[in-house]
Amino acid sequence: MPHIRFRLSAPPPVPGATLFLTGEHRSWSSDPEGWTFREEPNGAELEADFPEGTLLAVKVRARHPDGTVTEEGDAWGGRAPTHQAVVRGDLTLDLAVAGWQDGRAGQDRPSRSAPPRETVTLATPWGKQTVKLWWPQGHDGALPLLILHDGQNVFDEGPTFSGESWDAAGAAQRLADEGLPCRIAALPVNHERNRRYVPFPFELNGHDPGADEYGDWLRDILLPYLQERFGTVPASRLALAGSSFGGLITAYLGLRDPGTYGTLGVFSPAIWPADFAFLHWLEGRSDPRARLWLDMGDHEGGSLEEAAEIVNLTRDLAVRLRPRVAEFHLTISEGHWHDEAAWRARFPDFLRWWWTGMRRA
């Protein structure tokens, strides 16, 4: 079994803190036992064995003397992406930690991505819902509309889970500069993500899904609000998109409400909940006027073997979905992990594909 040596370089946290490794391989546990870095003359190190082909996604955390835990961050106290590596034989992995997450939460960090132009708050059956709006400067009226799930990851990096965003505004602005403008409405989600995005009862939503309630609100409240404010947009110029569970709810709502969304962007869909209930639900569902984009990376899993199985599942899903829509596109991206960096890389191609279809309509 390959032997991995992790070498850590990091600014010191509070005195007496214990530095340890967590990650996908530990289900992101905050228990340092067995994964604590030891001090060596050249810095802190940790050694462990992993099976060949493991896809490592790890972070460093610090347990303070009072028992609280702080995760590594960027130099401005915000979130940081995972350290990633493919285990192919013995390996030394250098973990450079820029800082620790703190009360600044990255607020002073120079922005790498464009923020939304406006944020509004709308009422929902489950409370208040933030809607982040963006449109290209100089373009008004009833532009093609894209609704994105996981809106906290869409624009600037500050509120994201991993310190990376989709840079949706940057990609859309480049397309607008070519004469292909659109409007984006992004919907941040909170701790109820598993409930809002998974339409089937399973452990992580407490066997109490709220996806249909979420979908009803999108169709009956959000869309009328946006169309009243910015102008009516026909379904052929309306898109819905998201990744992981956001990809699942996109496919589900698109086929649940045929004729509502002209294009569905299904990025890296997580279709496994409730023993792949989505595949059974698909039977008899279709939208003969919709276009559907499906994609997956070939590094989405805990190992290369598991990732290959997920790619095969995605190809099988493609076979099931293709006859249910008017137009279908599948992309399998080499070297792409299950993260915002990968979706950011694929998002511009999706936008162009969406616009290409509208031009032909």
66 lies in the same domain as 158: no
12 lies in the same domain as 158: no
What pLDDT sits at residue 15?
87
Say which residues have a Cβ less than 8 Å from residue 134's Cβ, sequence separation at least 6.
114, 116, 117, 118, 155, 168, 169, 172, 183, 184, 186
pLDDT, mean of each 10-residue run, the chain (361 residues): 96 91 96 95 92 97 96 91 96 96 81 88 96 93 95 81 85 96 96 96 96 98 97 96 98 98 98 98 97 98 98 98 98 97 97 92 66
- CATH at residue 87: 2.60.40.10
123 lies in the same domain as 251: yes
Question: What is the pTM (predicted TM-score) of this model?
Answer: 0.95
199 lies in the same domain as 287: yes
Of the residues 100, 132, 167, which one is the last residue of a structural domain? Answer: 100
- CATH at residue 349: 3.40.50.1820
146 lies in the same domain as 223: yes
273 lies in the same domain as 339: yes
What pLDDT sits at residue 361?
66
208 lies in the same domain as 320: yes
Domain-located, residue 110: no
147 lies in the same domain as 93: no
Domain-located, residue 313: yes
Domain-located, residue 112: no
Domain-located, residue 109: no
* Per-residue pLDDT reduced to its tens digit, 61-82: 999 999 999 999 998 898 899 9
Task: Tell me the backbone φ, ψ of residue 224, rounded to 5 degrees.
Answer: -60, -40
214 lies in the same domain as 259: yes
Task: Tell me the backbone φ, ψ of residue 114, rounded to 5 degrees.
Answer: -75, 135
Of the residues 100, 126, 149, which one is the last residue of a structural domain? Answer: 100
Domain-located, residue 73: yes
Domain-located, residue 111: no
16 lies in the same domain as 96: yes
Domain-located, residue 16: yes
14 lies in the same domain as 159: no
Residue-number span of the structural domain to which 30 is assigned: 3-100
CB-neighbour burial class of residue 228 (10 A; exposed 0-12, middle 13-18, buried 19+): exposed
Domain-located, residue 113: no
As for how many domains the chain has, the answer is 2
179 lies in the same domain as 274: yes
The sign of the CA dihedral 338, 344, 349, 352 is: positive
What pLDDT sits at residue 304?
98
Of the residues 72, 100, 128, which one is the last residue of a structural domain? Answer: 100
Closest CA to 243 of 202, 296, 192: 296
Do 60 and 79 contact (CB within 8 A), yes or no? no
